[in-house]
Structure 1
Amino acid sequence: MRMIPSQPLVTSSNAEIRMFDQLRSAFSRPDQNGWFAMHSLNLPRHEYKRFGEIDFVICGPEGLFVLEVKGGGVSCHDGIWETTNRYGETERLRESPFKQAEGALHGLRGKLPASLSNVFVVGYGVVMPDVDRLPDSAEWDRAVLADGRDFRQFEKWLERFIRYWSAKDPRKSAATPSQLKVLQQHLRPDFEAVVPLHVSAHEVEMRIARLTEDQLRLIDVVEANPRVICSGGAGTGKTMLALELAKRWSASGMKTALACHSPWLKRFLERNAVPGLIVSLAESLHVAAKRASIEGFDALIVDEGQDILNMYVLAQLDRCLHGGISEGRWCFFHDANNQSGLCGSYVPDAYEYLESICPVRIPLKTNCRNSLPILQRIQGDLDADVGNSGVGDGPAVREICVADADSAIQALEKELHDLVDVERFSLGDIVVLSPLPFVQSWTSSLSENLRGSISVLDDASPRNINRHSIGFAQIGDFKGLESEVVVLVDMPRPGHSEPLRSLHYVGMSRARALLSMICC
């Protein structure tokens, strides 16, 4: 089932995250591709509350349904409902979960436009994944409850649940694809939020990067134009938007390819890709098409396009796209800031060729990755255009300047200990970036105890979202990726070496919440 957004929004509920995964894996047959689900839909017009939130809304040809999720232990005594979390803490609910779900459904129905108000079979349900058996009651029908046993075979329960509500309104016919599209577009202003590339519990990380006005405009423009060049500095949401666009084009039935130059970025894109999307290195897109048993793609998206803007790679892409580069449907995301020689190959003639086709050009101007102190430091030291701040304030940039390598190693040792022991960052929140391989970096000379807490990342690392160690990577490999905390090492102060400008630009802009630099 297609999920909107494609990753769970920030939530303290482990049960909602498990529910998200169950829905994503449900209804995956080709004849079920009309279904989609939305996580955490806000209802400003809730029937009787000033503000309401629905855990999950499920939409498809057979109906529109609301699911309320209650994790942990659940009990009811004398009409009083309580939940108990994994720490043994008990919370009294203001109403039963079934009343809550029913009220949310009425609020949602009141929000629908007149053209859709009587189109869908509607229903509500409650999911309690940690409760093995809830006693039957006159307060609810068993068919609307999924307990722990149902949760383990969730798709079967969901099919029974839909049949139950459909039987209550048998005169309703299946909703058409156009009606489902209208419904999705109507609800979009309330739910369309794209989750940052990584989600963490720290303050800056809690700020969901909503699609800004210029990003929404990009999506609308791309849908209306077959060829688009989208340019923006680091952190302006290019990769995030590439994935969102790929999701939409794939959902519309187009055979879509998402290409890039970096194997590391490819791994990350694969982990976040929707089913049916082909993710490939640009140079081997023809191999990906052959493996998919297709002659060519209906649509092409290129991320970090500045890395593959040369005539050789463009010729490869041209052969794999229906209509070619000149007449096919494509969108190039690229960073106009100078990064030449850092990763891939950029040839100005190739960009001029793309421009000669007269694509629509869209600039991205809002930075939705870096906190304001990081943004200001990049702009001040490197005079780079990385957009206007959309994240807000955060911790000050930390800079430690030393005279020699031995002092740098000592400073790095102390900084990593401070970040973990004093600032209380998790090991997995931190990545050390260097222009050098690990064996040549100051990092390799840290104490044995600290070195044991550091993992040298490789191109498979972006698949692992649960890393429990400090990461180390070379800056060029980490292009297109990001980390909550970045410690930049083995370099002089930014702005003092023009040959290192590209490395400073990429390295500094990988940090979302906190940037630390050890300079020598």
Structure 2
Amino acid sequence: MAKMIPPYLSADCKSPGEKLLFDRFRTDPATDDWIVLHSLGIAKHPERLSGEIDFVVVVPGLGVLCLEVKAGNVRRYDGFWICGSGINQEKSSVGPFRQASDGMHAIKKYLSRTDQSLSRILIYSGVIFTYINFDEESPEWHKWQHADRSRIYSTPISEVCSRMLRCAHEHVRSTPSSFWYDAKASRPDKEQSLQITNILRGDFECVFPLRAAIDQTEKQIIVFTEEQFAALDTLDVNNRLVFRGPAGTGKTFLAVEAARRSVLSGKKTLLICFNRMLGQWLNQATKSFRDQNSGMLTAGTLHSVMRSMIKTENAADYSQNYWNKQLPSLVIESILEESLDVPQFDMLIVDEAQDIIKEEFMDVLDLLLTGGLSGGKWAFFGDFERQAIYTQFSAGTHSIDCMEILRARSPFHFVYPLRINCRNTLNISVGIEVACLLDPRYSKVLHAESGSDIDIEFYSTAEEQQHKLLKQLSSLRNTFSNNEIVILSPKENTVSCAEQLSAADTHAYLSPFHTDIPKTVTGYATIQAFKGLEAPAVILTDIEELEGYYAQALLYIGMSRARIHLVLIMHEKCRKKYLEINEQGLKIILGGQSGKS
């Protein structure tokens, strides 16, 4: 994947062709050592007061390619080029080939003047027509100097650009006047490629402020999730659906949208999850359309629904056995004895379903849903391989297969796979794939920006970990608001690093996390409690174990909560295992072996 400069596609970019190519350069694995500058301004243009090159592609071992991109219709009439249509139509005597060539000469002249050692580097121009077929011939351009729709959609962008540069080498080498050309010296090595980039970026790049990048990313989250709403259209023709996908694929947002659609269609709907914090978030997220459709939607945790039926009090005094065994049994007995006015729901939606699919809970849901699980209408959203820390595994031993239980209850249902990551930045997504051995990988990462690298710290003592946590907090608070940062730990709050730091330093401004935490405070919670939620910046602390399913699942859940910035603070004893896991994860990405064991 190429290094994109700037790493973010500006919101000002209106060209669908440039957006298409930006994504192609960013995701093509064959462009790994390439550097691509987008929308490079030229202050000293040879023909005009100023100019712009759509893409400057720096390819080590080949050269520099200046590309002009045309996304609409193109024709030439009476010597004028007419590009685009309607109000976006442009008419000019300077066609796209001349535009690209002028930009190329400006770059070549500037580089030679700035650093004479770069004067022999091959720099050439080309044109890409992204949405039309272009087979016109003219002495004004070479046949190999352009690529059209048929080539762009059938050939990787790396091969399209490499072919242009290879042909440019052949052309220049056979031209007698190109005395400057040298078969070796005209091909930039990696150091010269960086040198070229630094010269051009130093003069032409407008840096995209990190705070602005964060704001833009936050605005894009809902938009990205909307692209996946097409998956919900399958509910119109299938009454029972499992939406199955890894962390970050938009399952919770899709669950909320499914609830909204269900309520608007007149169905009495139950939207539930397992985790208390996620239940509070679901309740808040659905408030607007729940208030507008009184009585049509119940949202929260399954336990809160059961408690409302039994009218339990002093909930904090009850044991796990009560919540997982006794309470479901009480509800079922009361329903069967007809001592309860049982609410019947037309639609059941379960988020983080892997935490709820166990026999006791499924018995309750079977009785609450009209038609039951076998004949009623439902949608289950879950990560059934990686996040089943409450049902599928117990103390690292396989005990329950969620999908087997579901198939036994409802043999006739469909599974809809979700593999597009619409939560995490590219670097965090790749970090999850590597450190958590995600196989298969995400099919696509929708955030165009790469984001910051994952920060990793190792500690030996509790005091050292507190010091590193405070240092990371101070650094992150230069960019993020206090409440945009969340500290997560596999340990209970009372013994976590965050609580110890909070007790030792009141100016750390830390507090146990809740969904409406004030902007002046940074929240902390267990990874388990925060499951299903997300935050712009996440710091994982108290990582003391990486062996076994449960420890690896918690690492995966914790890492995948971070949208933009991620920090790992782990014990020194984990260093060797962490490096081993990363080596294995890289082999998966490179196609060397499967990460499943």
- Answer yes or no: same fold by TM over 0.5: yes
Secondary structure of the equivalent of 2:373? helix
Distance 1:319 1:446, change over 3 A: same
**Local SS of the residue matching 1:486:** strand
Q: Does 1:341 align with 2:373?
A: no
Amino acid at match of 2:569: I
Residue by residue, what CA displacement relative to the aligned partner does 1:452-475 show, whole Å, maximum 9, x if unpaired?
500112xxx22x165431111011
State yes or no: 1:505 paired with 2:561: no
The letter of the residue matching 1:362 is Y
State the alpha-carbon separation in 1 of the partners of residues 87 and 562 from structure 2: 39
- The structure with the greater share of residues assigned to helix is 2
Do residues 478 (structure 1) and 530 (structure 2) align?
yes
Q: 1:233 is paired with a residue of what secondary structure?
A: coil
Identity of aligned residues (%): 33
SS of 2:540 mapped into structure 1? strand
> Could you tell me which residue of structure 2 aligns to residue 414 of structure 1?
471
SS at match of 2:424: coil
**Structure 2 match to 1:453:** 509
Tell whether the 8 Å contact from 2:436 to 2:556 is kept in structure 1 after alignment.
Answer: yes
The alignment partner of 2:221 has SS state of coil
User: Is the 1:256–1:297 Cα contact (8 Å) retained in structure 2?
Assistant: yes
1:370 CA displacement: 0.8
Paired letter, 2:231: L
Alpha-carbon offset, residue 216 of structure 1: 3.2
Quote the residue 1:83 is aligned against: none
Q: Which aligned pairs between 1:65-80 and structure 2 lie closer than 5 A?
A: none
Once residues 214 and 273 of structure 2 are traced to their aligned partners in structure 1, the CA distance between those partners, rounded to angstroms, is: 30
Cα drift, residue 482 of structure 1:
0.7
Cα deviations across residues 313-336 of structure 1 (Å, max 9, x unaligned)?
A: 111000000000000000100102
* 3-state SS of 2:452 partner: coil
Amino acid corresponding to residue 351 of structure 1 in structure 2: M
How many residues are paired up? 320
Instruction: Give the conservation status (yes or no) of the 8 Å contact 1:311–1:350.
Output: no
What letter corresponds to residue 512 of structure 1 in structure 2?
Answer: R
Residue type matched to 1:424 in 2?
A: T
Deviation of residue 418 (structure 1)? 1.4
1:322 corresponds to which of 351, 358, 370: 370
Task: Say yes or no: does 1:313 pair with 2:369.
Answer: no
Contact preservation (8 Å) 1:209, 1:391: no
Offset, 1:424 = 2.4
Retained in 1: the 8 A contact 2:510–2:523?
yes
Deviation at 1:294, TM superposition (A): 5.9
Question: What is the RMSD of the two structures over their aligned residues, measured on CA atoms?
Answer: 3.1
1:350–1:312 CA distance, 2 compared to 1 (3 A) = farther
CA offsets per residue over residues 385-425 of structure 1, 9 Å max, x none?
563311232111111122332222211111111111xx321
Offset at residue 286 of structure 1 (A): 5.2
Superposition deviation, residue 49 in structure 1: 7.6
Q: Is contact 1:200-1:206 (8 Å) kept?
A: no
- Structure 2 residue identity aligned to 1:446: L
For 1:443 and 1:261, the matched residues in 2 are separated by 25
Segments of 5+ residues of structure 2 without an aligned counterpart are: 1-10, 12-85, 89-211, 291-295, 312-339, 572-597
Change in Cα spacing, 1:310 to 1:214, as seen in structure 2 (3 Å) is: farther
Task: Name the CA shift for 1:515/1:201 in 2 (closer, same or farther; >3 Å).
Answer: closer
One-letter code aligned to 2:230: R
Which of 437, 445, 465 lines up with 1:383 in the alignment? Answer: 437
Residue 430 (str. 1) matches residue 450 (str. 2)? no
Residue of structure 2 aligned with 1:229, choices 238, 242, 245? 242
CA contact (8 A) 2:280 2:300 kept: no
What does residue 58 of structure 1 align with?
none
Question: What is the letter of the counterpart of residue 345 of structure 2?
Answer: F
CA distance in 2, matches of 1:300, 1:288: 17
Whether the aligned pair in 1 keeps the contact of 2:465 and 2:497 (CA below 8 Å) is: yes
Contact 1:285 1:317 survives alignment (8 Å)? no
What are the superposed Cα offsets for residues 181-204 of structure 1, whole Å, 9 maximum, x if unpaired? xxxxxxxxxxxxxxxxxx995343
Give the conservation status (yes or no) of the 8 Å contact 1:289–1:297. Answer: no
Aligned with 2:565 (options 494, 514, 517): 514
SS at match of 1:301: strand
Superposition map of 1:247-396 within 5 A: 247-273=260-286, 274-275=289-290, 276-283=296-303, 285=305, 295-342=343-390, 348-356=400-408, 357-385=411-439, 387=442, 388-392=444-448, 393-396=450-453
How far apart, CA to CA, are the structure 1 residues paired with 2:476 and 2:417?
36
Alpha-carbon contact 2:392-2:402 (below 8 Å) kept: no
The answer to whether the 8 A contact 1:308-1:344 is kept is no
Match of 1:42 in 2: none
**Residues 345, 223 of structure 1: alpha-carbon distance in 2 compared, 3 angstrom cutoff:** farther
Rate the CA distance shift 1:492–1:305 in 2: closer, same or farther, 3 A.
Answer: same
| 1:216 equivalent in structure 2 | 229
Q: C-alpha separation between the residues in 1 aligned to 2:342 and 2:350?
A: 19
Corresponding residue of 2:520: 468
Counterparts of 1:295 and 1:279 in 2: how far apart (Å)?
13
Q: Partners of 1:479 and 1:499 in 2: how far apart?
A: 14
Cα shift readout 1:47-103 (whole Å, capped 9, x = no counterpart): x987xxxxxxxxxxxxxxxxxxxxxxxxxxxxxxxxxxxxxxxxxxxxxxxxxxxxx
Q: Structure 1 513/243 Cα, relative in aligned 2: closer, same or farther at 3 Å? A: same
**TM-score, normalising length: structure 1:** 0.56
Amino acid at match of 2:559: M
**CA separation in 2, counterparts of 1:312 and 1:324?**
15
Match 1:399 to one of 456, 469, 473: 456
The structural deviation recorded for 1:355 is: 2.5
Deviations along 1:331-361, whole A, 9 cap, x unmatched? 1001023334357988645521423522011
In structure 2, C-alpha distance between the alignment counterparts of 1:472 and 1:208, rounded to whole Å: 23
Q: Give the corresponding residue for 1:54.
A: none
Determine if the alignment matches structure 1 residue 487 to structure 2 residue 543: no
- CA distance change for structure 1 residues 212 and 272 in 2, over 3 Å: closer, same or farther? closer
2:383 partner letter: D
Letter in 2 for 1:264: M
Are 2:542 and 2:569, in contact at CA under 8 Å, matched by a contact in 1?
yes
Q: Secondary structure at the match of 1:400?
A: strand
- The question of whether the paired residues in 2 share the 8 Å contact of 1:285 and 1:316 is answered with no
3-state DSSP of counterpart to 2:278: helix
Q: Is the 8 A contact 2:374 2:412 kept in 1?
A: no
User: Aligned letter for 2:455?
Assistant: R
User: SS where residue 243 of structure 1 aligns?
Assistant: helix
Please say which of residues 250-259 and 338-347 is displaced more in the overlay: 338-347
Q: Is the 8 A contact 2:384 2:402 kept in 1?
A: no
Q: Distance in 1 between matches of 2:341 and 2:550?
A: 44
